[in-house]
Chain A
Amino acid sequence: MRNRVREQRTQRGLSQADLAAGLGVSRQTVISIENGRYLPSLPLAFAIARFFDLTVDKMFDPDDEEAGS
């Protein structure tokens, strides 16, 4: 599953640590999500989408199966 977390974060000029602090998770978890090594839980996926003022389906693309947790 591909996601647009890195794209949205860099567009807003945020560091991984900034995003991690905003979401209440660790920097390592943000890195893992961006790299597609970890699929976030539904609550965290919604939190990420809300953080960027987007919907979950705009943030995560289920059609791309290139990565998973």
Chain B
Amino acid sequence: MRSFVPMSVLPARLRKPAVAVLFGGALAIAWLVRGGPLAWAAILPLLAGIARAVVIYQAGGTDTDEGALAASRADERQQLVGLRSRALAGTIVTAGSFVGLCAGIAARANWWWPFAAVLALAGFGYLLGLSSYGSGEPEPEDDAVRSGRPA
């Protein structure tokens, strides 16, 4: 999970809990900016973020794959587990958004567009991943192979 906060200055075990607090804080600020008589309720997402941070920190102390991921000390297999889990989450969100979009269109509702937006973001993210992690243009052919000589 990327963050604008320089996470490398934090001990590894505190990084994911810090992100949870930041997310809760961001939601609390959004609620405060919204204002109104229920502005006091902004404390709730902040408390939820802190509670989640405590849970993540405690999980980080366990000798499990989940604990290693929570404490940012995952080895190569555990990173692969985390990567596959995020990929599965993305697939489920995309499928759910597609179902929601179909339902919105069928019901002639005006709430179809958030599903379309999530689908568009997912597609953009996928293409961004291909351009970031793929090689892009085809690699030039090896000279020896091109000239017919054994490599």
A residues within 8 Å of B by Cβ?
Answer: 24-29, 32, 38, 40-41, 44
How long is the Cα–Cα vector from A32 to B77 in the complex, in angstroms? 9
Ordered by A's residue number, 7 sampled pairs between the chains whose C-beta atoms are within 8 Å are: A24-B75, A25-B75, A25-B77, A26-B63, A26-B78, A29-B78, A32-B77
For the complex, is B64 an interface residue (Cβ under 8 Å from A)? yes
Name which residue of chain B comes closest to A41, CB basis: B76
Q: Tell me what chain B mostly uses at the interface: helix, strand, loop, or mixed.
A: helix
Which secondary structure dominates where chain A touches chain B?
A: loop
Q: Give every chain B residue within 8 A of A24 (Cβ-Cβ).
A: 75
Residues of chain B from 44 to 78 with CB closer than 8 A to chain A in the complex: 63-65, 68, 74-78
- Chain A residue at minimal CB-CB distance from B67: A26
* B78 touching A28, Cβ below 8 Å: yes
| Residues of chain B lying within 8 A (CB to CB) of residue A26 | 63, 65, 68, 74-75, 77-78
CA distance A29 to B68 in the complex (A): 11
- From residue A45, how far is it (CB to closest CB) to chain B in Å? 11
B76 and A28: CB pair below 8 A?
no
Shortest CB-to-CB span from B76 to chain A, Å, is: 5
CB contacts (< 8 Å) of B64 on chain A: these are 28
Give the chain B neighbours of A27 by CB distance below 8 A. Answer: 63
